[in-house]
Structure 1
Amino acid sequence: MRRGTRYGALLGRLLAGGATPDLVTRAARGLGLPERGRYAVVVLGSPVPDAAVADGPDVDGARWWWGSAEGSPGAAEVREGGREGGREVAVVLLGPAGAARAVARLRELGAGPGGVSPVVGSLAELGAARRLAGTALLTCEPGSREIVRLDERLPTALLVSRPELSTRLLAEVFGPLLTLVPAERSLLVETLEAWLECGGSVGRTAARLGCHRNTVFNRLRRLERLTGRSLSRPRELVDLVLALEVLRLSSAPP
């Protein structure tokens, strides 16, 4: 539920991080939350749907707080209405189904894109959880409605946490590929994505793409020549997969 300015200020202080024991105790009393419990933080990259801020717990018994931090420490990061630099921020006291149910609820409401933090065990950990939820949000594809948990995107989270290294990885691995005309580049990227999704099966990849097995082989061999990396060498395959993730998160089409 969305609470008033007083409640939002308390919540904002917790989300800003570095909460003192006294602040945790005051916030717990003011918000009606247990100091210790199973919590997650959600950061949305778009306005929160009205249905998400209805009073009362959801069907799983989870309780949601969409708060503001106007005029409190951390207000530059967590602004009025629970917005973090234009993003919506929520604290969830989880029900029995845990974070999976929170993710499902947001998807049902059409929210997104959004990132969900790992589960933490106390109000004092909400600041760290907020940062991790924000990182999870950064792993969502631009323009998507994805709702993702950080624990599902850890390799990609490492990439978005160091954008200068991500840019370097993309240039180092896919540099020659990026010089191709868009149609050729998209064809090779699409084939690599399908091959990965099909568990490395050329036959299944060909069936998915509606082409001959030899066509898939030829495209993958060309990709290997362009990148200087072999799909059969695990360490080099890791380079290709991570570079593909950086490309996926790029605002430019493949």
Structure 2
Amino acid sequence: MRRRSDEQGRALLDALLECRSEPGLAARAASCLDLPEHGRYAVAVLRAGGGEPAGVAPEADGLRFFRRRRADREVVVVALGDRDPAALAALLVRWCPGPGGIGPVADGLAGLGAARRLAEVALLTCPPGTTDIVRLEERLPAALLVSQPELSARLVTDVFGPLLALAPADRALLVRTLEAWLECGGSAGRAAGRLYCHRNTVLNRLRRLERLTSRSLSRPRELIDMVLALDAFRMTAPQS
């Protein structure tokens, strides 16, 4: 009977994650899984590796976890209670191989399907080769890009077209310089320290990038173009 109840609970959870709209579905799942129907829940989607999935305990740090495996994905549903979802990200980083995405908090079991779909979008914002576990709220511009792949590809071609024509090593050098400059708040001196080169070297590379893209890093709208194109490029570029 216990096995049958567990199987029923898993089936109900799968139905919620698939956004099925059957009358009373959330209430039945709440009763079967011993969960509040209108509690706070988070859904994480992890890119599963080979072998057995990483160990997430049924209960840990005051949180309850429910795990479902789907092809190359592992879906983790978490009963948050009054906990901050940022704590979940930190917990999954310790236990699970990334990358992974966490959707917005769902107000009730009926919202699990939407939270799972948005967690998938958050996962898509993780560039190839990375192991980050990210929250959708931290990646909203990138999430917009991955939600419109055709427009993202057009943006990369339009902004970075001449850059893409460079030799791979030359292109990577300019991209790393732009990344460092942005991460350092637009400080060429701090970016130079991170890149182990002279400040003037950073400035020369940035000027070259401006010439190639026909965009100025000092003009806000053109800087937005560059940042969005960089995000789109990083999410699709193969890792060297």
Q: TM-score range by the shorter chain?
A: over 0.9
Q: Percent of aligned positions with the same letter in both sequences? A: 59
> How far does residue 11 in structure 1 lie from its aligned partner after superposition?
0.3
Match of 2:238 in 1: 252
Partners of 2:98 and 2:21 lie apart in 1 by 28
Match of 2:183 in 1: 197
Is 1:40 the equivalent of 2:42?
yes
In structure 2, the CA distance between the partners of 1:27 and 1:110, relative to structure 1 (3 Å rule), is closer
In structure 2, the CA distance between the partners of 1:227 and 1:251, relative to structure 1 (3 Å rule), is closer
Match of 1:17 in 2: 19
> How far does residue 5 in structure 1 lie from its aligned partner after superposition?
2.9
> How far does residue 151 in structure 1 lie from its aligned partner after superposition?
0.4
Any runs of at least 4 consecutive aligned residues in structure 1 with deviations exceeding 6 A, and if so which?
none
> How far does residue 50 in structure 1 lie from its aligned partner after superposition?
4.2
Aligned length: 234
Deviations along 1:133-170, whole A, 9 cap, x unmatched? 00000011212211000000000000000100110000
Match of 1:232 in 2: 218
The one-letter code matched in structure 1 to 2:35 is L
Partners of 2:103 and 2:33 lie apart in 1 by 20
Partners of 1:148 and 1:234 lie apart in 2 by 27
CA root-mean-square deviation: 1.6
Match of 1:182 among 168, 171, 178: 168
- Give 5+ residue unaligned stretches, structure 1: 68-81
Contact preservation (8 Å) 1:110, 1:145: no
Match of 1:241 in 2: 227
- Tell me the TM-score normalized by structure 1: 0.87
Match of 1:124 in 2: 110
> How far does residue 19 in structure 1 lie from its aligned partner after superposition?
2.8
Is 1:66 the equivalent of 2:52?
no
> How far does residue 210 in structure 1 lie from its aligned partner after superposition?
1.8
Contact preservation (8 Å) 2:39, 2:107: yes
Contact preservation (8 Å) 1:40, 1:119: yes
> How far does residue 120 in structure 1 lie from its aligned partner after superposition?
1.4
Which secondary structure state, in structure 1, belongs to the residue aligned with residue 161 of structure 2? helix
Match of 1:101 in 2: 87
Partners of 1:110 and 1:94 lie apart in 2 by 18
Match of 2:55 in 1: 51
The one-letter code matched in structure 2 to 1:66 is R
- Tell me the TM-score normalized by structure 2: 0.92
- Give 5+ residue unaligned stretches, structure 2: none
The one-letter code matched in structure 2 to 1:65 is F
